[in-house]
Structure 1
Amino acid sequence: MNRHTGVVGLAGVLTLVLAACGSGTPEGKPSASAPSSLMPSASLAPSAAAGRDALVAYRGMWAAFVEAGKTSDADAPDLRKYASGNALKLIVSSLYTNRDQGKVSKGALMLDPKVTELKPSEAPTEATILDCVDSTNWLEYKASGELWDDKPGGKHRTTATVTRTDGSWTVSSFVLEGAATC
């Protein structure tokens, strides 16, 4: 089994389940670092604020997943802050599987998300995000600290749905495609 099996396995599970269910770095690429706290701005149009808030939730979900992956902690509270529905179920399932197999994930996950659609246009409550999730440096390790294997991660085309419920934006679903899809 290779170190990107978790991401690849998650990609396969996400594709099947979701099909059935209907911060910068030195390189200039955004990472999955924790989102900064943003104050609402009265000057932003509803669609601009919705796009910004959806991206904060999306980045927050990945940052929470990266942090939880360090110990394969399926109960990490930030997961539930930024993810809901199928997205949360799939992440939690992946963390339980890694914990059962004695795996943890370490390193940086690189993101470059873009909002491609907001619905409805007047007062958006749903955003579609397209990303290329780069897991090249987010690797799986044995709990003892040794690399799980010697295979690198990869770049995965990702499409996410972020929804606003009760004033809060969370990633409700996403499809993480296989390596080398972006």
Structure 2
Amino acid sequence: MLLVGAGCTSGKSDSSPNGTSSPTASSAPSLGPRAAAERDALAAYRGMWSTFVEAAKTSDAEAPELRKYASDQALRLIASGLYNDKKQGKITKGEVVLDPKVTEVKPEQVPTEVTVLDCVDTTKWLVHKASGELWDDKPGGQHRMTATVKQSDGAWKVNSFILEESGTC
């Protein structure tokens, strides 16, 4: 689910009229601090969801990748939910559809905190018994989510979030 794009060139060079080649200038402009913060915060947000979806397949509250993308309240919520699911014999399978948008950055000049708003679609991410059959007949839904992503020690992590009930977006 997490894809990191990188700029690339075709490997061709521009030819001058005399037949000599000159290197092609990179078409990817350098990002300013705000754009880089937004990109990195969204990558951490998507990374958290990707690792959460993977860990939920076995209800693994100790999945090490979770700590790469989540911290504090966000990590506690995810880990406790997975732990409780494991105790109850639940696993969650399927996919989550995300469409996150940055709504705020703080401070403006060199951001260290980004607020992300999303409508998390769990329509195809359903709770099952460990045996594989559905836990219940409750469908997934669309949930409004507000997340705070913070930079700490050079890494962006989802620090906290509020995931509202189904039907809120």
* Same fold per superposition (TM over 0.5): yes
What does residue 22 of structure 1 align with? none
DSSP-derived class of the 2:149 partner: strand
Q: Give the strand-richer structure, 1 or 2.
A: 2
Which runs of 5 or more structure 1 residues have no equivalent in the other structure? 1-32
Taking structure 1 as reference, are residues 64 and 110 closer, same or farther at Cα in structure 2, changes over 3 Å only? same
RMSD: 1.4
Matches within 5 A, 1:30-179: 33-36=1-4, 43-179=30-166
Tell me: higher relative CO, structure 1 or 2? Use CA pairs within 8 A at least 6 residues apart: 1
Distance in structure 1 (CA, Å) of the matches to 2:100 and 2:125: 17
Q: How far is 1:151 from its partner?
A: 1.6
Q: How far is 1:34 from its partner?
A: 2.7
Q: How far is 1:150 from its partner?
A: 1.5
Taking structure 1 as reference, are residues 153 and 65 closer, same or farther at Cα in structure 2, changes over 3 Å only? same
Distance in structure 2 (CA, Å) of the matches to 1:95 and 1:167: 27
| One-letter amino acid matched to 1:66 | V
Distance in structure 2 (CA, Å) of the matches to 1:96 and 1:52: 31
| One-letter amino acid matched to 2:150 | T
The higher radius of gyration belongs to 2
DSSP-derived class of the 1:137 partner: strand
Distance in structure 2 (CA, Å) of the matches to 1:42 and 1:76: 36
Instruction: Name the count of aligned residue pairs.
Output: 149
Which runs of 5 or more structure 2 residues have no equivalent in the other structure? 8-27
Q: How far is 1:38 from its partner?
A: 5.7
Q: How far is 1:145 from its partner?
A: 0.6
Distance in structure 2 (CA, Å) of the matches to 1:80 and 1:181: 28
Cα deviation code 1:46-88 (max 9, x no counterpart): 0000000000000000001000000000011110000000000
Cα deviation code 1:124-169 (max 9, x no counterpart): 0000000000111000100001111122111000000000000000
What does residue 17 of structure 1 align with? none
Answer yes or no: is the 8 Å Cα contact 1:34–1:64 preserved in 2. no
Distance in structure 2 (CA, Å) of the matches to 1:146 and 1:159: 31
Q: Give the helix-richer structure, 1 or 2.
A: 1
Distance in structure 2 (CA, Å) of the matches to 1:136 and 1:97: 21
| One-letter amino acid matched to 1:36 | V
DSSP-derived class of the 1:109 partner: strand
Percent identity between the aligned chains?
64
Q: How far is 1:180 from its partner?
A: 0.1
